[in-house]
Chains A and B, each alone.
Chain A
Amino acid sequence: MRRWTVRTHLAGFVALAAAACARGERAPVDAGPAVTDDVGRRVTLAAPARRVVSLLPSFTEILFAVGAGDRLVGRTAWCDYPPAALAVPSVGDGMPPNVEAVAARRPDLVVLYKSGPNVTAAEQLERLGIRTVLFDLNQLEELGPAARRLGVLTGRRAAGDSLARAMDSLTSQRPESPTPSPKSLVFLVWDNPPIVIGAGSYLDRLAGLAGARNVFHDIATPSAQVSIETIAARNPDFIAMLSDSGLPPGYANRPEWRVVPAVRQGRFLFLPGRLFGRPGPRAAEAVRELRRRLEAAP
């Protein structure tokens, strides 16, 4: 995975150098919006994008937040916020993107999350003459740059900058009151086998900003399989789960899970997936909500 990333970065670097040389020879004719995406490609549009397809719920939220929601002509089945997004036609679940369904919306820009299958889909779209951008979005720190560049590409530069500043100031702040013993939690994604969230995910930072400590902060990847024993040994104050029902999970009564004190005492935090399930413009709201729940808990 790391090697793959390095390779794409390298390829992007070479492409960038080539582009720089080309620019040196002749001055750009048009003054349309231009950004560099996260695979290092220079993306230049003749004019601000008017027909955009977003292939990640976070990008859909950002586009609406910078006032470019009316430019959206396609979204994924997962894009459910803001409610106005539901009026935009869906092009499927986006995993991997259905290239024909995307092309059928006749977009002049497709926004994709940077992943292996999406890089392939972007190449296919480019061959059809459709411009694409690929952005990273695993960490809260990546929200600002994504908002800034989406603002540029849709001709909403000022709104994009202002959203980006808000996102940057959120992620650059220290936790409000660094209490001597912050509450600790584990984000449990799945119980059998136990999958937890590590420092590579935005949720880890979200917990930090809310004044809590992710007990698996030492795991660098977004998520990892661990054993129940490790969770018990790290002894988090809370088990945080993405859950809209708020019902106690099925494993809560099993003897092997009741070895974990927080499970035994029923100290669960059920976080609604619509707010916590993705990094986005509402990150500050998510931080406030998590802090409120941590303080309300006994």
Chain B
Amino acid sequence: MKYVVLGGAALATLAAALLVGPAHLPLADLPGSAIVWQLRLPRAVLAFLVGGALGVAGTSLQALVRNPLADPFLLGLSGGAGLGAVAAIALHLPGPWALPLAAFVGAVGAMALVYRLGLVGGAELDPRILLLGGVAVGAFAGAITTAIVSLAQATELRNAFLWLWGGLSGASWTLVLVMLVYAPLPLAVLVAAARPLDLLALGEEPAQYLGADVRRLKRLVYLAASLLTAAAVAVAGVIGFVGLVVPHVCRLVWGRLHRTLLPTAFLTGGILLAVADTLARTVVAPRELPVGIVTALLGVPVFAFLLRRWTVS
């Protein structure tokens, strides 16, 4: 039932994203319009895929570190991506892929560093150290980024930040294809880990006794969720709040079992980001809002409402 509702909502969202936009197109012109095929449709699909990826990454990371405040970008990834983007512009790397690739490399670099820090206590990945290491690596990358921007005398460097927070303005079929090829593997890894993630909620030792390979699980989940987030940054920049709020909304509505939680988080995250992006490009037309603002404006009231309703009952 919930999948029918969510699937219907997803289709309605995509349809709305195709129908509305700053350009006024007569309904009859819609099927043949380049604005629909080259701009609105790839942008809506990309928003859906990125939102879904962030929803799933957030859900898995919150389960992994057993901390409700975990966010895919909390673990140093946005800092690393920013450093990569600024470095690409400072080094004048050519080509349309320089910026997204450099951001991806930066995010993966930060991820590797945090991963290594998480292992300092031994062979076990320590969730507390993952969180602290993520914050520290993020701050460190942020400091280097700021140093480059303030020391190098190039106005283009400021544009690296525009790009990083720019959201889905640069959406294209190529980026949709990148996500479609890339995302299924980490998504499959996370969905396959649904049952052990449920056990992990009981604590690491009980999960181990109940037959979960906790050590391997933590490594796989951390790497898959981070790689998913890194891809989201590369195609759409840093988009806040989806990965934080969507898991909680899904947990409040559909319960704590990851077998349900992960698919619903994907659909809910996709719907949230696609709706937010449609609003971002239409409500203040001809201007455009950064999509992260809209995700927060939509996500927080829904979250507060659910929190109130569920904690009262």
Chain A contact residues, CB within 8 Å of chain B: 77, 93, 190-195, 216, 218-219, 224-230, 232-234, 250-251, 254-256, 258-259
Residues of B within 8 A of A190 (CB): 159, 162
State the majority secondary structure of interface residues on A: mixed
Residues of A within 8 A of B40 (CB): 229
B281, CB-defined interface residue at 8 Å: yes
B27 CB, min distance to chain A CBs, angstroms: 16
- Judge whether B21 and A195 touch: CB under 8 Å: no
Q: Using an 8 Å CB-CB cutoff, how does the interface string of B140-184 with A read, 1 for contact, 0 for none?
A: 000000000000010000010011001101111110000000000
A80 CB, min distance to chain B CBs, angstroms: 12
Contacts A193-B166, A228-B39 known; A219 to B286 CB distance under 8 Å? Answer: yes
Chain B contact residues, CB within 8 Å of chain A: 21-24, 34-35, 38-40, 42, 95-96, 99, 153, 159, 162-163, 166-167, 169-174, 281, 285-288, 290
Residues of B within 8 A of A224 (CB): 286-288
- Judge whether B288 and A233 touch: CB under 8 Å: no
- Judge whether A233 and B23 touch: CB under 8 Å: yes
| Residue in chain B with minimal CB distance to A261 | B34
One of A193, A216, A229, A234 near B167 (C-beta < 8 A)? A193
- Judge whether A251 and B96 touch: CB under 8 Å: yes
Bound Cα distance A284, B30 (Å): 45
B156 CB, min distance to chain A CBs, angstroms: 9
- Judge whether A230 and B23 touch: CB under 8 Å: yes
| 26 pairs of residues in contact across A and B, judged by CB atoms under 8 Å | A93-B153, A190-B162, A193-B163, A193-B166, A193-B169, A193-B288, A218-B286, A219-B287, A225-B288, A225-B290, A226-B22, A226-B287, A226-B288, A227-B169, A228-B169, A229-B22, A229-B35, A229-B39, A232-B34, A233-B23, A251-B96, A254-B96, A254-B172, A255-B172, A256-B39, A258-B38
Bound Cα distance A219, B167 (Å): 21
Residues of A within 8 A of B169 (CB): 192-194, 225, 227-228
Contacts A190-B162, A230-B286, A232-B23 known; A250 to B170 CB distance under 8 Å? Answer: no
Contacts A232-B35, A259-B34 known; A227 to B22 CB distance under 8 Å? Answer: yes
Bound Cα distance A256, B99 (Å): 17
Bound Cα distance A262, B124 (Å): 58
Residues of B within 8 A of A77 (CB): 153
State the majority secondary structure of interface residues on B: loop
- Judge whether A233 and B22 touch: CB under 8 Å: yes
B208 CB, min distance to chain A CBs, angstroms: 47
Bound Cα distance A267, B34 (Å): 19
One of A191, A192, A219, A233 near B24 (C-beta < 8 A)? A233
Residues of A within 8 A of B34 (CB): 232, 259
- Judge whether B23 and A256 touch: CB under 8 Å: no
- Judge whether A259 and B38 touch: CB under 8 Å: yes
| Residue in chain B with minimal CB distance to A228 | B39
Residues of B within 8 A of A255 (CB): 38, 172-174
Residues of B within 8 A of A232 (CB): 23, 34-35, 39
Q: Which of B159, B162, B287 has the most CB of A within 10 A?
A: B287
| Residue in chain B with minimal CB distance to A224 | B287
Bound Cα distance A119, B163 (Å): 29
Residues of A within 8 A of B162 (CB): 190, 192-193, 195, 225
Bound Cα distance A77, B40 (Å): 42
Bound Cα distance A230, B38 (Å): 13
- Nearest 5 pairs between A and B by C-beta? A233-B23, A193-B169, A193-B166, A192-B170, A230-B22
B233 CB, min distance to chain A CBs, angstroms: 14
Bound Cα distance A254, B173 (Å): 10
Q: Which of A192, A226, A229 has the most CB of B within 10 A?
A: A229
Bound Cα distance A59, B139 (Å): 38
- Judge whether A256 and B281 touch: CB under 8 Å: no
- Judge whether A216 and B286 touch: CB under 8 Å: yes
Contacts A229-B40, A233-B35 known; A250 to B166 CB distance under 8 Å? Answer: no
Bound Cα distance A271, B80 (Å): 35
B46 CB, min distance to chain A CBs, angstroms: 11
- Judge whether A227 and B38 touch: CB under 8 Å: no
Given A255-B172, A256-B42, 18 more contacts at CB 8 Å?
A: A190-B159, A192-B162, A192-B169, A193-B166, A195-B162, A219-B286, A225-B169, A226-B22, A226-B287, A227-B21, A227-B39, A227-B281, A228-B39, A229-B281, A233-B23, A256-B38, A256-B171, A259-B35
Bound Cα distance A256, B45 (Å): 14
B174 CB, min distance to chain A CBs, angstroms: 8
Residues of B within 8 A of A193 (CB): 162-163, 166-167, 169-170, 288
A224 CB, min distance to chain B CBs, angstroms: 5
Residues of A within 8 A of B285 (CB): 230
Residues of B within 8 A of A216 (CB): 286
- Judge whether A250 and B95 touch: CB under 8 Å: yes
- Judge whether A229 and B159 touch: CB under 8 Å: no
Residues of A within 8 A of B22 (CB): 226-227, 229-230, 233
A251 CB, min distance to chain B CBs, angstroms: 7
| Residue in chain B with minimal CB distance to A77 | B153
